[in-house]
Structure 1
Amino acid sequence: MIHRTSLPRRMAKRLAGSQGQSTWSKPVVQIATAGVTIGIALIVIATSIVHGFQSEVKELVVGFGSDIQVLNGDWRDQKIIRSKKVEQDLLSLSNVKSVYPFYTSPGIVESKSGLKGVVLKGMNLETSNGMLEKFLLEGRVPRFDGKDSVVLSLELAQRLELKLHDPLTIYLVGGPTGIRPRSMVLGGIYRTGLIEYDEEFMFVPTQAIQSTAGWGLDLQLVLNENTVEARAFGGNRSPKISWREVTPDGKVRPLGWRSKGAHPLSEVKANSVMAIAESRDLDFNLLPDTAWLSRRMGEWKVVPSGSGWDKAASGYEIYLEDGVDLWTSEAEIYAALPLGLVTETVTQQAPEMFAWLGMLDLNVEIIIGLMVLISIINMTSALLILILERRPMIGMLKALGMSDGQVLRVFIWQAARILGQGFWMGNVLGFSIVYVQEATGWVGLNPEAYYLSEVPVQLNAGFLVGVELLIFVLCVAMMFFPALASTRIRPADALRMNR
């Protein structure tokens, strides 16, 4: 015995089969199925393109900075003091993939044919160079060791009429020393397609920025036979020089020396001398620097110890793990920072870019809405035609005792089968086109207008499953209204038409 709830489904299955379709209703069902197929395929393609475009452009923007930057909270002091503890605390967070110091400064690049204001970004072995390696067109990624070449974009190279290995001059702006020129050589040319950033960013050795940004002093000791002289760089005013001797047991005693010298080393009883340079510039918070002398076998030698600005950076660049929430991660990072440091997300660094990317979601919503509307209209027309064609059958079923509700469910089940077939074929078509585009990139774009050279695609399975389930339920629910026409058919009238 057939259960009452399974009878409408079984009848709908038979009506959908070849034996239950007449010659003139079959094309109507095929047209409705084709409409649903095209609609679902367009939804898959549109969402994949928009998500791919958003992902690619975001990756480009993040490549010039990072997901989150850690900066000094005092806008008057554009540097942070690097701390191993802070770096380790940040790396210990579960959402953080990597942490790098970064160095930026305003500047000017000049060639024989012109000049252009740029943002200079310092690069060395500690910074992230992955973007340059990915988008390098000519040359190589330099070592950025202070004696090497620089990298600029194809747009800047064409504008300044520069070719690989051509000489150029960069003017670094900032700090108490003002503008300082540096002669460099063009060692690499890159292009990301993100014109607004390509025309703005130029990559230089980190040391060039550190030494001119006004972050700290550079103290150097010069030995002249039996005397030592201190030379300090990085400030407008001569810094305060303090001299101390350090005994083997670690005791520090002040020496009676004042100013930079020269001072006689014969007055030193210990085997180590420490000199400290402290800034007198009130307008610039310059880091102090320390230099050392060491005596071994009766001979004094300068101990390399770096410069004050070696300890400073513009901030930290933090890259997050894939798929983590940006704002949740930003809150966790901020909570791990010491007082005085703040965070800035990539969406805060480029609000216009991400506002524009967010507006692309509206295009997807419009496409989905139109496809749903078209599918509902197609299915409504097809279902009404099927009901009109099956009037004699409906009258006979009612005469045999089938209720209006069961008859209505027969046609809702039939509509669901047509929709299901259209959804399946639409997904096959849409996913196939997306796969071919991802594998071959056969549909190209103008990078000057769209930032990318080919149409990007990215399948978001979770999003598509959720959207398609919602669309399917909505379309089936809307079929209730045309299916009501079957309840208005009277058995006597329907059977009379069958004579």
Structure 2
Amino acid sequence: MKIPFEWLIGWRYTRAGKKSSGNGFISFIALVSMSGIALGVAALIVVLSVMNGFQRDVRDRMLSVLAHVEIFSPTGSMPDWQRTAQESLRNPQVVAAAPYVEAQALLTRQDAVNGVALRGVDPSLESKVSDVAKEMKAGALSDLQPGQFGIVLGTQLAASLGVMTGDKVTLVAPEGSITPAGMLPRLKQFTVVGIFESGHYEFDSSLALIDIADAEALFRLPAPTGVRLRVRDMQKAPDIAIALSHTLSGDLYIRDWTKQNQTWFSAVQIEKRMMFIILTLIIAVAAFNLVSSLVMTVTDKQPDIAILRTLGAQQRSIMKIFFVQGVTIGFIGTTLGVALGCALAASIPTIVPMIEHLLGVQFLPPSIYFINELPSDLEAGDVLRIGLMAFALSAVATLYPSWRGSRVRPAEALRYE
């Protein structure tokens, strides 16, 4: 196969020798451009991988406690929850359903007082729609028995109250009782029968579980608040929720997990887009360094261009030569950046703990962030998009120098040779 001469000359200019200071300086500029593209691509891959990992871990830890879909009544109770559960399970994408009661309350013990999100659950069904039963650090979810007034707390909440399994806590319900002295809140003593750890600070510090029968009695509800569902593919939960809205009978509200934390997920997506734009500017700066490198090459190679023109080379052939040179630099820089970025992104779970150990710091305190370690999730789509974008910027940066090289006039270029 015969290789076009434009490609051969372009590759030769890419690896220009250093016989003269001019060629050496031009090669140095090209190397800097190549390195800048590689570092920019690697940085963008690593940052997006970390943000993907952060979003994945927070989402998974949220969904270990939250249901994929929640169905509830605007009246605050759902007497026909069994019918709603059966109708939901007819959808082939729904794998489990469980009733729940949701309320707000205060937990007190001695001088400690904490506001909690109180959830009444059926222990035998709850394990099918959430992973709380698998995350128990002490006791078991099945220890919640109706009429026994047991309670399961998150690890941070238990630590804040200073309790362990077997200890007593007092629950203060906001719905009060009318007495001759006025409205008084309802108080009930519960026994801590279990402690769970989801890894999500918000839930570990504010969620408490009790038996659903105890919750209905405490808050004087005639029936559960609603039904929680687990689906086969949580990414399809929004579509499943829409499908259920057309098949379920009754006046019901349906909410999937993306709506429950819509503000947080929207903020993460905006941050990801902004980081992509900011780091793309770094790649753009490095890519457009090719302009100065190729312009200097055109200036240095004017006699060569003139000779090629006198031998019959067309203007488009001259453009191809410098285009091949710039694209080669961009391709090598992009390839090196992709390789370096993928290697660093895959090694983050190992590298970051080593740095934390050496410096004696913790980059993600669990009391501030949802997670306490830096995750990484390398997605092939992000790598492909970054690589194509960097290569495209490099190709665009070669257009002006290539056009300028094709406009060189042989007579003027050879006048002083």
State the distance in 2 between where 1:59 and 1:450 align. 15
* Percent of paired sites with the same residue: 19
Q: Structure 2: which amino acid aligns with 1:332?
A: A
Q: Which amino acid aligns with 2:401?
A: P
Is the 1:135–1:192 Cα contact (8 Å) retained in structure 2? no
Alignment map for 1:343-362 (pairs within 5 Å): 343-362=254-273
Whether contact under 8 Å (1:164, 1:189) holds in the other structure is: no
User: Paired residue for 2:107?
Assistant: 109
Match of 1:68 in 2: 69
Q: Tell me: CA distance 1:176–1:358, structure 2 relative to 1, closer, same or farther (3 Å).
A: farther
Structure 2 match to 1:8: 6
Q: Give the structure 2 partner of residue 44 of structure 1.
A: 45
Shift of residue 337, structure 1, vs aligned partner: 1.3
Inter-partner Cα distance in structure 1 for 2:43 and 2:85: 46
1:411 to 2:322 alignment? yes
Instruction: List runs of 5+ in structure 1 lacking aligned partners.
Output: 217-311
Cα pair distance change 1:450/1:116, threshold 3 Å = closer
The worse-fitting range, judged by mean Cα deviation, of 445-454 and 97-106 is: 97-106
Flag the 1:70–1:46 CA change in 2: closer, same or farther, 3 A. Answer: same
Q: Which one has a larger percent strand, Structure 1 or Structure 2?
A: 1
CA distance in structure 2 between the partners assigned to 1:328 and 1:478 by the alignment: 43
Partner letter of residue 145 of structure 1? Q
Partner SS, residue 34 of structure 1: helix
Which residue number in structure 1 is paired with residue 161 of structure 2?
160
Cα separation, 2, equivalents of 1:387 and 1:145: 83
1:335 equivalent in alignment to 2:246: yes
Q: Which runs of structure 2 are paired with 1:220-231 in the superposition (5 Å)? A: none
* Alignment-derived partner of residue 145 in structure 2: 145
Aligned to 1:472: 391
> 1:81 is aligned with what amino acid?
D
CA distance in 2, matches of 1:373, 1:41: 14
Contact 1:69 1:316 in 2 (8 A): yes
Equivalent-residue separation in structure 2 for 1:433 and 1:60 (angstroms)? 25
Structure with the larger RCO, 1 or 2 (CA within 8 Å, 6+ apart): 2
Give unmatched runs, 5+ long, in structure 2: 179-184, 357-362
Partner of 2:189: 182
Corresponding residue SS for 1:187: strand
Matching of residues 33-432 of structure 1 within 5 Å: 33-72=34-73, 74=74, 76-83=75-82, 86-123=84-121, 124-128=123-127, 130-132=130-132, 136=136, 138-143=137-142, 144-146=144-146, 147=148, 149-172=150-173, 179=186, 181-185=188-192, 187-190=194-197, 192-195=199-202, 197-216=203-222, 312-322=223-233, 324-432=235-343
Using the TM superposition, give the Cα deviation of residue 16 of structure 1 relative to its aligned residue in structure 2, in angstroms.
Answer: 2.9
- Counterpart AA for 2:238: W
Alpha-carbon displacement from aligned partner over 1:213-249 (angstroms, at most 9, x marks no partner): 3333xxxxxxxxxxxxxxxxxxxxxxxxxxxxxxxxx
Instruction: Give the letter aligned to residue 183 of structure 1.
Output: F
- Distance (Å, rounded) in 1 between the aligned partners of 2:232 and 2:286: 39
TM-score normalised according to structure 2 size: 0.83
SS at match of 1:446: coil
Bigger mean CA offset, 148-157 vs 446-455: 148-157
How high is the TM-score relative to the length of structure 1? 0.71
Measured in 2, the distance between the counterparts of 1:134 and 1:409 equals: 63
- Number of residue pairs aligned between Structure 1 and Structure 2: 396
**Secondary structure, counterpart of 2:126 in structure 1:** coil
Question: Could you tell me how far 1:17 is from its partner in structure 2?
Answer: 4.3
Distance in 2 separating the partners of 1:333 and 1:212: 31
> Which has the greater radius of gyration?
1
**Separation in 2 of the partners of 1:394 and 1:100?**
78
Structure 2 CA distance for aligned equivalents of residues 378 and 80 of structure 1: 69
SS of 1:23's partner is: helix
